């Protein structure tokens, strides 16, 4: 994909807001340069998002990336080091301008950093979109065509695998799957246009069970899959479930959708428990909430389901038409399990937006 070398006479700035996403079929296991062991599919969210501005200005003669990084209005050494390492890793192949100018990044999250919500998907996708936008400006291009988004997705993936799916509205697939035309291990594609309308207004209320730092990072968890004896079977299962879930998403089959989403959450955490060393990221509250959701569904027949990411927080998934009943249930029965009663009420969203 194209690389740019033009010299800007003035500072060039780009700003994008990009959302988080929640995987329904999980990416868990990777190889090579952030390539997935199986394909995954996610809902793009709308409330949990990152806003990032990137400015390139004075000439830089140091031969490496020169970064000045602000997170939520303040310097943040840990994030700055991670981003600088990432930019150094992509500059030669993707954006040569990164070594030629000093880079200023100003980024902030719409959700509190201490909420236990992963910000790498929204953060890396917002950054990748800004870099592609600056490249466009350097090349006097004004359109955001398919290749723009493909490159943004590919670059996001190199920052954090799941981030590549946040580039697209509604529903995105990452990882080659024989039944999904255009799917690739290198970048995600949007499949929102193929999805039944009932899923386009689906809710995802994120119950913050614990806001603490995870004991095992996702990256370490992916690496542990390489020695997990169940891994080959898991990758086959994921591909099979992809097929069934895509069918359910197209047909608007909420009960099939919910069963697969819940099975995936349980499988993800089972894989953690049978890694070597084994570990548990669920908390007591996670299990209590899962039991309550299943019981409520059995007793009322209201279609409400859960999924989990690589942590203790529970994502409560349900269609728009049962919003009021589910909201009362969450307030009355699930909120007591949340850290300081925290819940992020999110929904399927329309994807990243340029900030003008
Ligand atoms: C459980 O994308 O955070 O949320 O590629 O190492 O940055 P890295 O990992 P990351 O892993 C996400 C794992 C997951 C499932 C998913 O989002 O598909």
Residue 26 CA: nearest ligand 1 atom is 18
CA of 75 to the centre of ligand 1 (A): 25
Which domains does the chain possess?
12-194 (3.30.230.10), 198-347 (3.30.70.890)
What are the start-end ranges of the E strands in 224-278? none
Which pLDDT does position 116 carry in this prediction?
A: 62
Q: Is 57 strand, coil or helix? A: strand
Q: Please give the structure tokens belonging to residue 329.
A: 């249930």
Pocket flag, ligand 1, residue 269 (CB < 6 Å) = no
Pocket flag, ligand 1, residue 307 (CB < 6 Å) = no
- The residues of the chain scoring below 50 in pLDDT are 1-2
Pocket flag, ligand 1, residue 161 (CB < 6 Å) = yes
Residue nearest to atom 5 of ligand 1 (CA): 161
Pocket flag, ligand 1, residue 222 (CB < 6 Å) = yes
The residues pairing with 304 across neighbouring beta strands, listed in sequence order, are none
Pocket flag, ligand 1, residue 17 (CB < 6 Å) = no
Which pLDDT does position 118 carry in this prediction?
A: 64
Which pLDDT does position 62 carry in this prediction?
A: 86
CA of 219 to the centre of ligand 1 (A): 7
Which pLDDT does position 149 carry in this prediction?
A: 98
Q: What percent of the chain is predicted at pLDDT more than 70?
A: 96
What is the pTM assigned to this prediction?
A: 0.95
Rounded to whole angstroms, how far apart are CA atoms 271 and 221? Answer: 9
The DSSP output letter for 317 is E
Cβ pair 86, 159 in contact under 8 A:
yes
Which pLDDT does position 332 carry in this prediction?
A: 98
Rounded to whole angstroms, how far apart are CA atoms 134 and 274? Answer: 44
Q: Please give the structure tokens belonging to residue 144.
A: 């955001």
Pocket flag, ligand 1, residue 40 (CB < 6 Å) = yes
Angle at 354 between CA 349 and CA 356, to 5 degrees: 135
Pocket flag, ligand 1, residue 160 (CB < 6 Å) = yes
Rounded to whole angstroms, how far apart are CA atoms 92 and 95? Answer: 6
CA of 174 to the centre of ligand 1 (A): 12
Pocket flag, ligand 1, residue 86 (CB < 6 Å) = no
Cβ pair 194, 250 in contact under 8 A:
yes
Residue 21 CA: nearest ligand 1 atom is 17
Residue nearest to atom 3 of ligand 1 (CA): 218
Pocket flag, ligand 1, residue 2 (CB < 6 Å) = no
Rounded to whole angstroms, how far apart are CA atoms 274 and 259? Answer: 22
Cβ pair 13, 52 in contact under 8 A:
no
Residue 219 CA: nearest ligand 1 atom is 6
Cis ω before 235 (30° cut-off from 0): no
Which pLDDT does position 2 carry in this prediction?
A: 45
Cβ pair 241, 25 in contact under 8 A:
yes
Contacts of 150 (CB under 8 A, 6+ apart): 1, 187
Residue 22 CA: nearest ligand 1 atom is 17
Pocket flag, ligand 1, residue 285 (CB < 6 Å) = no
Which pLDDT does position 356 carry in this prediction?
A: 85
Which pLDDT does position 115 carry in this prediction?
A: 61
Q: List, for residues 167-222, the tens digit of each pLDDT value.
A: 999 999 999 999 999 999 999 999 999 999 999 999 999 999 998 777 889 999 99
Which pLDDT does position 141 carry in this prediction?
A: 94
């Amino acid at each position: 994909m194209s690389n740019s070398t033009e010299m800007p006479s003035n500072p060039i700035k780009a700003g994008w807001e990009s959302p988080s996403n929640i995987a329904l079929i999980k990416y868990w296991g990777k190889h090579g340069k952030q390539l997935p062991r199986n394909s995954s599919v996610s809902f793009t969210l709308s409330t949990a998002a990152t806003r990032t501005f990137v400015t390139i200005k004075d000439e830089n003669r140091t031969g490496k990336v020169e970064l000045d990084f602000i997170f939520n209005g303040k310097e943040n050494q840990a994030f700055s080091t991670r981003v600088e390492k990432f930019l150094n890793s992509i500059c030669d192949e993707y954006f040569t301008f990164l070594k030629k100018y000093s880079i200023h990044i100003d980024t902030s999250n719409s959700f509190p950093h201490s909420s236990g919500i992963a910000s790498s998907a929204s953060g890396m996708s917002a950054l990748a979109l800004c870099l592609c936008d600056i490249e466009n400006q350097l090349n006097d291009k004004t359109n955001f065509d398919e290749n723009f988004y493909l490159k943004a997705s590919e670059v996001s993936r190199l920052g954090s695998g799941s981030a590549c799916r946040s580039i697209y509205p509604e529903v995105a697939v990452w990882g080659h799957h024989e039944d999904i035309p255009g799917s690739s291990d290198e970048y995600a594609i949007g499949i929102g246009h193929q999805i039944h309308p009932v899923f386009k207004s689906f809710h995802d209320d994120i119950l913050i069970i614990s806001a603490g730092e995870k004991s095992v990072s996702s990256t370490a968890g992916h690496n542990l899959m390489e020695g997990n004896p169940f891994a080959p079977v898991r990758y086959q299962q994921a591909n099979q479930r992809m097929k069934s879930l895509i069918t359910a998403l197209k047909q608007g089959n909420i009960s099939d959708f919910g069963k697969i989403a819940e099975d995936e959450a349980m499988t993800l955490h089972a894989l953690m428990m049978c890694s070597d060393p084994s570990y548990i990221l669920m908390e007591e509250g996670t299990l209590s909430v899962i039991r309550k959701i299943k019981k409520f569904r059995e007793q009322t027949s209201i279609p409400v389901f859960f999924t989990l990411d690589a942590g203790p927080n529970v994502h409560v998934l349900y269609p728009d038409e049962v919003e009021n009943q589910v909201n009362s249930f969450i307030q009355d029965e699930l909120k007591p399990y949340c850290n300081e009663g925290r819940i992020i009420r999110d929904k399927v969203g329309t994807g990243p937006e340029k900030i003008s």
